[in-house]
Chains A and B, each alone.
Chain A
Amino acid sequence: MNRAMVAAASGMAAQQLELEVVADNLANADVAGFKGAAETFADVRAGAVGLGTIAVGRHPVFIQGKLEKSGGPFDLAIDGPGFFVVERDGQRAYTRSGAFTRQADGSVRDAAGWALHGVRIPADAVAVHVTRDGAVGVDVPGKAARTVAHLRLAEFAAPEALRPLSATLFARSDGSGPPRLVTPGAQGGPSLAFGMLEKSTVSIVEAMMQILGAQRAYEANAKGVQAADEMLRIANNLHRG
């Protein structure tokens, strides 16, 4: 009965963790560039004896999100693998969230103040555009259009091992390997879409289904704990004073 109780309790803990992961996904269902995470569980056994379940790891699922036309002045989306390289206070990070805006100092930053690495927009530029291969062009009145920067994307050998800094921001880790800078637009590689944003990969319907499933599985495991407890009580009643 004790073994059953431990196994059922591990199942409850697993479903609780699953709920946390799905709730986090759901909270970011509208965040551009967000990648849903998945938790992996495996059974625990000692020889032939089953002892319940354990969480063995969580990884973000880097699948392509849908690109959607947006109204932002400097919105960028990556079609394919790779990350934007952003900087703040000398720290470097990587993101697929491309909602940037022009700042007064010429830099291009997202809402949290992370600046797109290597891009400076002249103060007198009236229009900015980015081509699919990362060339940042500006129009200045009275002058010919010119290119002020070439955006490059960072690719990692193991992007799933990146260290998350926030929902959409990552830092390199030992597991991810060093960033490799690539020029977008090449055959078979990533390309950029200007005026578009990559939607979150979280499907609300799927997340709701996962929540319902986890909730029911939690209840069922709780029943297992109850049954084990009840059987202990019955065993205690074997001896009548």
Chain B
Amino acid sequence: MDGMEWMGSAMRAARAALDVATHDLANVASDGFRKAVADVRLTARGLAVATRTSAEQGAVRATGRAFDLALLGPGAFHVGDGHTRGGAFSRDRSGWLVDDRGRRLHGACGALRVSANARIDADGLVHDGGRIVDRLPLPAGTHVQAGALEASSVNAIDETLAILTAQRAFETAQKTLLAIDATREKAANEIGRVQ
């Protein structure tokens, strides 16, 4: 790889880092959102960016709604064919617990259908009418906090820094690329010019 290719890979890496940081920042108000982290690695073919999801726990804030559920620990809620950590569920007219997109919350025995007085305890057990009707399939050690939501784990300051860093890295790479280009221009047009 020559210098220009190196700088090209650095610019692509900066762009990827910016994509990740802006996506994180946009989701600073998305409950249950876990931020993505861009890891930049030096490889033989230039800088490479790998994205991973951070496992950092978001802050838990009380809402007072019975079926707002916050997860403390790893895991996710099963909703239809997907998973989410956004725990703003409510009872629909037929008693199904649904999220704001209308997807049904699933327990170990299928979609949960409960009465208005049902409650979900810290171990994810669903109590309804004095007995346990189902449980949320969660990894061992994960607790549920009812009447609360897990806020996004995004920290606006970190992401703003990441955006600035990406922008400057991009700029530096561009300047270096231009310098290399200028050197080559000299080599091509000035060295060996017949006066």
Q: Which residues of A contact B (CB under 8 A)?
A: 1, 3-5, 7-8, 10-11, 14-15, 18, 38, 40-43, 48-53, 56-57, 59, 61-63, 81, 156-158, 160-161, 174-177, 214, 216-217, 220-221, 223-224, 227-228, 230-231, 234-235, 237-238, 240
Per the CB 8 Å criterion, the residue count for chain B at the interface is 49
Known: A43-B23, A158-B91. A11 touches B163 (CB 8 A): no
Contact across chains for A157 and B94 when beta carbons are under 8 A apart: yes
Q: Which of B14, B63, B93, B171 contacts A38 (CB 8 A)?
A: B63
Query: Complex: how many Å from CA A48 to CA B38?
Result: 12
Query: Complex: how many Å from CA A38 to CA B156?
Result: 21
Q: How far is the CB of A191 from chain B (nearest CB, A)?
A: 17
| B57 CB contacts on chain A under 8 angstroms | none
The 12 listed contacts between A and B (C-beta, < 8 Å) are: A41-B27, A42-B100, A43-B26, A52-B27, A56-B101, A63-B65, A157-B116, A176-B93, A224-B22, A227-B22, A235-B170, A240-B178
Contact across chains for B90 and A160 when beta carbons are under 8 A apart: yes
| B177 CB contacts on chain A under 8 angstroms | 238
Q: Is B5 an interface residue (CB 8 A)?
A: no
| A1 CB contacts on chain B under 8 angstroms | 15, 18
Query: Complex: how many Å from CA A213 to CA B101?
Result: 25
Q: How far is the CB of B56 from chain A (nearest CB, A)?
A: 15
Q: How far is the CB of B21 from chain A (nearest CB, A)?
A: 7
Contact across chains for B93 and A175 when beta carbons are under 8 A apart: yes
Query: Complex: how many Å from CA A87 to CA B26?
Result: 44
Contact across chains for B29 and A43 when beta carbons are under 8 A apart: no
Q: Which residues of B contact A (CB under 8 A)?
A: 11, 14-15, 18-31, 33, 36, 51, 63-65, 84, 86, 88, 90-95, 99-101, 116, 156, 159-160, 163-164, 166-167, 170-171, 174, 177-178, 181
Query: Complex: how many Å from CA A11 to CA B167?
Result: 19
Query: Complex: how many Å from CA A230 to CA B51?
Result: 23
Contact across chains for B65 and A61 when beta carbons are under 8 A apart: yes
| B29 CB contacts on chain A under 8 angstroms | 14-15, 18, 41, 53, 214, 217
Q: How far is the CB of A187 from chain B (nearest CB, A)?
A: 13
| A5 CB contacts on chain B under 8 angstroms | 22
Known: A42-B86, A234-B174, A237-B174. A220 touches B19 (CB 8 A): no
